[in-house]
Amino acid sequence: KRKIIIDTDPGQDDAVAIFLALASPEIDVQAIIAVAGNVPLHHTVENARRVLEMAGRPDIPLYAGAARPLRRTQTTAEHVHGPSGLDGIDTSWSLSMPVQTQSGVDYLIGAIRAAEPKELTLVMLGPLTDLAIALTLAPDIAGRLREVVLMGGAWSELGNITPAAEFNIYADPEAADIVFSAGIPLVVLPLDVTHQCLGLPERLTAMRENGNRCSVAAADMLSFSERFDLKKYGWPGAPLHDPCTIAWLLNPEIFGGRTVNVSIETGNGLCAGMTVVDWWRVTDRTPNALFLRDVDSDAFYSLLTSRLATLP
């Protein structure tokens, strides 16, 4: 079983990624850390609790991570995810699962140090703030991680929050710079991949037709967040981002990419938060990431939909 910690800013697509991980016997979710991102921290923490309760897993420890980016003014994305971050489902029931009192960053450092070397995988689904703080406080953890699998950045698809930048990197470029410079094996699922994973009507219908609570919730959430994307892109379905990370862990053969250097633009100009990907290897910068570009989107959706069916 692959031991993972998920750092996330739910977010409908984050919620579906958490469902996919919990539905997969190959993966052992050690803990969830909620970070500010799509919506402010109090919402992402609450949403993570809701997702875990829906999946019948209130036993998984949940921690609160960073409330704001390292240095930038906070950027959120209520225009995509709704004011709660999890619009599209009933969010009125009262939550009972606890939030751990230890901070997410302290937990992360302790968990990485306590694990066997190269045992733990981190899955990062939001801004990279928590890991950047952890690496700054405890540089020794970099060499102990198996890998970091993250959704963020773009090469040929460039930006979704600015013309040049993807949301998770743009929200905290200084944090991304720390993570991409840390020497940790990185696997990057960028917009180039996620823009191929469109939530076509027949795919969402198949998900809903599973009939179980979590599949129906996933279809409802994705139908909500896609309203904005359908208008924005004019595509027949909205891109599905964060679950690609878990799908890569489960079935890397359905993805294609190459190991290249990815550097982060930390300036303040038009390209703030851009991932500068040396795809053609035109520099001598050391490759630091497996940067994926291709995906078999039918295989991705059939994996996702069949796994969701196994949840409550």
Closest Cα partner for 9 from 108, 77, 56, 107?
A: 77
Q: How far apart are CA 45 and CA 73, in angstroms?
A: 20
Active-site hit among 43, 81, 195, 241: 241
Q: How far apart are CA 3 and CA 84, in angstroms?
A: 30
108 counts as binding ligand BDR under rule CB under 6 A: no
Residues between 20 and 49 with contacts to ligand BDR, criterion CB under 6 A? 38
Helix (H, G, I), strand (E, B) or coil at 6: strand
- Applying CB under 6 A, among 22, 141, 151, 182 the residue interacting with ligand BDR is 151
- Going by C-beta distance under 8 Å and a sequence separation of 6 or more, which residues neighbour residue 285? 261, 263, 278
Q: How far apart are CA 260 and CA 192, in angstroms?
A: 15
Residues between 208 and 267 with contacts to ligand BDR, criterion CB under 6 A? 241-242
- Rounded to the nearest 5 degrees, what angle is found at the Cα of 158, between the Cα atoms of 156 and 160? 140
Q: Which window, 100-108, 162-170, 199-207, 216-224, contacts ligand BDR (CB under 6 A)?
A: 162-170
What is the size of the binding site for ligand BDR (CB under 6 A)?
15
**Cβ proximity to ligand BDR, 72 vs 241, nearer residue:** 241
Q: Which window, 10-18, 22-30, 135-143, 246-254, contacts ligand BDR (CB under 6 A)?
A: 10-18
- Applying CB under 5 A, among 11, 61, 69, 152 the residue interacting with Ca ion is 11
**Cβ proximity to ligand BDR, 84 vs 310, nearer residue:** 84
End-to-end CA separation in angstroms for the chain: 21
> Shortest distance, CB of residue 93 to ligand BDR, whole angstroms?
23
Closest Cα partner for 165 from 191, 193, 187, 184?
A: 191
126 counts as binding Ca ion under rule CB under 5 A: yes
CB 49 within 8 A of CB 84: no
Based on the residue annotation, tell me whether 81 is a catalytic residue of this protein.
Answer: no
Closest Cα partner for 264 from 179, 162, 186?
A: 179
Window 58-87: contact mask with ligand BDR (x via CB under 6 A): -------------------x--x-------
Q: How far apart are CA 286 and CA 260, in angstroms?
A: 8
- Applying CB under 6 A, among 16, 20, 23, 125 the residue interacting with ligand BDR is 125
Q: Which window, 25-33, 48-56, 163-171, 245-253, contacts ligand BDR (CB under 6 A)?
A: 163-171
Q: Which window, 7-15, 40-48, 209-217, 267-275, contacts Ca ion (CB under 5 A)?
A: 7-15
Catalytic residues, by residue number, are: 241
- Give residues in contact with Ca ion (CB under 5 A): 9, 11, 14, 125-126, 242
